[in-house]
Amino acid sequence: MSKHASSALRTTRTGLEPASRERGLAPGTRIQHYELIRELGSGGMGTVCLARDTRLGRRVAIKFLHTEDPDLTKRFILEARATARCGQENIVIIYEVGEHQGSPFMVLEYLQGQPMKKLIAGQRLPPSRAVELMVPVVRALACAHEQGIVHRDLKPENILVTDSGAIKVLDFGIAKVLQGEEPSLGVATDTFVGLLEDDGEELTRRGSILGTMAYMSPEQWGNGVAIDHRTDIWAVGIMLFRMLAAQHPLGSMGGPQLAVTALLDEPMPRLREVVPDAPPELAAIVDRCLLKHKEERFPDALSLLRALEPFLPGRYNREQRIDESPYAGLSSFQEADADRFFGRTREIAALVNRIHDRPLLAVVGPSGTGKSSFVRAGLVPVLKRSGTPWEALVIRPGRNPLSALANMMAPLVSSSDSVEQDLKERKLLIEHLRNEPGYVGNVLRSRARRKQNHILLFVDQFEELYTLVPDAKERLAFTACLLGIADDATSPIRVVLSIRSDFLDRVPEDEGFMAELSQGLYFLTPPNREGLRDALVQPAERAGYRFETPTMVDNMLEHLESTQGALPLLQFAATQLWESRDPSRKLLTTSAYAAIGGIAGALASHADSVLTGMSTQERALVRALFLRLVTPEHTRALVSADELRELTKDTGEMQRIIDHLVQARLLVVQTGGGATGATVELVHESLIHSWPTLKRWLDEGQEDSGFLEQLRNATRQWQAKKFDNNLLWRGEMVEEARRFQRRYRGELPQLQRDFLDAVFAQEVRATRLKRALVVGSTVFLVLLVIAAAVALVIIRTSQQEAERQAEVAQAAEAVSRKAELMARAAEATAREAELQAKQRLAEVQAKELERQKAQQEAEDFSQQLARANKNLLGSNDKLKSALRSAWWAQQRAKAAKKRAEEMARDARDARRKAEELLRREQERVEELERQMGGIIKELKN
């Protein structure tokens, strides 16, 4: 099946078939306010087309029934009515029902995705994954059953997994209504008008058994037992069995052989007989669904749903430690927290679908949407339980992104035992990555082939590449390495980034990287109200607790829906509630909620309470610490603990403050590997946006924050270049540094103070040098004036002598000019005589040439005359030959004309004979049709 499918078909086509065109379903056809775009699929009984709703501006699928039979039309309307009655998110939506050219149609939501049949593809699924896929289906059945509607043809082909991760149950075309409506349509011999695959197992003609044989319950085989909602529970059991065992309970049986299902005394095989390692409790649920006496199955879909929910991912076979909080607080969820990560089921399913087709993906969203948690605790665990072996590697760019890659790769390629050798190898590895960006991809692909698994590289906080790395060459080298890893969809390697949406416009600095990344952007929006409710309520229920009142939950959700960074605030407030829980009643109480100040005040109250217990000097250090941990772009900065300790001369005191804030869950410390020391950062960006005290500090230090970032970058470069004086500030930056020094009241790290001292010292040296140059220039100018006066006297004397010599030269020049004039006159006379002689010689030569030319022309004329006579004789001969050829051609044309007239007469005779034969054949066909009509009438009677 195509990845893009309608909610009511199994196959796709690129254009309308001629038959559809004959039915008036050509592209561009207007049906009410719908305009047909193209055909999506067609069967013997109906056609499904993609159309646009010109009124609401959306795409829809329109399902046409090719019949004028009132019974079929009635069944079609019943399908629409049954489906529309079930307003549930896992059931396809019916927008409208109408009639076009005498045939009924229904307008459905247009869904893009793939059927569950293709998703499971005959493979054994982990139990949690199988339950994860089936729970939405059971929820849809629960809703339908409440309305008294039974699907009766539930199977993987009728379940669509959309690209957005939703699961939709399709085709209630043979749904049975149990509330007394239209009883004639509720028997097992009704006609099915849905669009079904012709797989040889479906009996859909009038008067035949309904359903798909492999999924039909015993009562559907016509054993005299009435059909009700428990026939759908049987189908759920068959699907679960096939997911867990990769085969039908009856093995390779097919077609009419499956009729053994109707034998009530012949039990179905047990799941653990086929899959001995299946969880016993889940196997018992599947076996109960497949009990042939329907009274022994689950009484309803809701009971089945409650039985399956404990086996959802993260809930099965995990013992919760005593007093362990089910919430993450302000910390990001990690892979180990998958069992308490709720509210993102659809988004995870959507990304899992995309990760198979795209080697490079980016999870994009604003701060506080839980991008890191979504990948770590959502995507990675789902991939690992998908049945395909996956290995997850996680890095953050930090200040040295190539170093982060090298640290990740070092355990994969290192063979050294000593720390010193390990550090040396990592430095060489960094240079190797810079020079050969494809190397890391080769290493990871070799590892995947060797271990026969897939590898997911998660680059968390990708915006650090732009907030913490000032060198564009370093950034481009890092993105080149990522391109070398995620180079093709057939590779076993996938790269997933998480990046804040307001930094997405920085990525195009590497055009090649952006070209690849743009095809794999996944925008993670804040969860909707139901997602927030799941994230709030379900962890507590998993721990055996509940909220004291529903109003309390609604109040929390109302605050969260209008709050930036809702997820971390939810987790933090819920953690505070958990710590004040009532263990005797297993409740999270309203009094505890009021005590923490609600959602809005929980984080601010906690942070302020931490500050309240500190001295004035400690609060000043905390202010400097937090300002250092926020970038000028108001994002979290990843700072080494050594650099933070340099903010004060008493490094021990700063370390104690860091430890205290970590214990208070406001900071997090990560221990680096190899040459990388411990780093410190804010526990979450929501502190930047939701803690008024920090916001005030940032506003007060806004002018200084930009300068401090420039100072840090300049200091690092100065240190990296071994304190090169050419990197020291000059000009306006020196003045800015002096103004900063006058207004700044905090302490700077020693290296930054050394940098500023070197800048100021260089400025002092430059000022002294400038003064020395001014004095020297003045003395030089005085000496230059004296030398100019002496030179002026010498120049004047030389000028007078030059004038006298000029007069003597002028007299000599006059004599020379007269001699030159006389010579020119003699030369002109000689030239005139020479010209006259040349003219006489030219006249003689011209007359001789004219004589020779006249003689030559006479000879040429004689030759031309001889050739003309010869040509005239030849032309006469050719004319005679041509006349003879023309006479023979005329004779042949007359003969051909005569033969053509004879053939025309023969053709007319043959045509008359053919028309006579055709007339006789038509009469015979009409007679046969009249006979067949009579036979059909007799059969109908």
By annotation, the residues acting in catalysis are 153
DSSP H or E segment with residue 205: none
Q: Where are the beta strands (DSSP E) in 82-162?
A: 94-100, 103-109, 113-115, 149-150, 159-162
DSSP letter at 87 equals -
Q: Which residue has the tokens 């659809």?
A: 346
Residues 6+ apart with CB under 8 A from 647: 621, 624, 625, 628, 654, 746, 747, 748, 749
Of the candidates 160, 151, 170, 163, the residue with the CA atom closest to the CA atom of residue 117: 160
CA–CA separation, 373 vs 689, rounded Å? 19
CA–CA separation, 880 vs 175, rounded Å? 98
| Encoded tokens for 103 | 């045939």
Q: How far is CA 737 from the centre of its chain?
A: 45
Name the β-bridge partners of 639: 680
Q: Which residue has the tokens 């009996």?
A: 203
CB atoms within 10 A of CB 717: 14
What are the φ/ψ torsions at residue 177 (nearest 5 degrees)? Answer: -90, 130
Amino acid at 89: E
153 and 194 Cβ atoms separated by less than 8 Å? yes
The β-bridge relationship of strands 587-588 and 546-547 is parallel
Long-range pairs for 49-53: beta carbons < 8 A, 24 or more residues apart:
49/16, 49/20, 49/25, 50/6, 50/110, 51/107, 53/95, 53/107
Nearest-10 Cα torsion for 702, 705, 707, 712:
180
Q: How far is CA 133 from the centre of its chain?
A: 23
Does residue 677 sit in helix, strand or coil?
coil
CA–CA separation, 773 vs 175, rounded Å? 100
Name the β-bridge partners of 98: 105
Does residue 500 sit in helix, strand or coil?
strand
DSSP letter at 505 equals G
User: Three-state SS string across 256-285, please?
Assistant: HHHHHHHCCCCCCCCHHHHCCCCCHHHHHH
Burial (CB count <10 Å: 0-12, 13-18, 19+), residue 387: middle
**Numbers of helices and strands, H then E, in the chain:** 30, 21
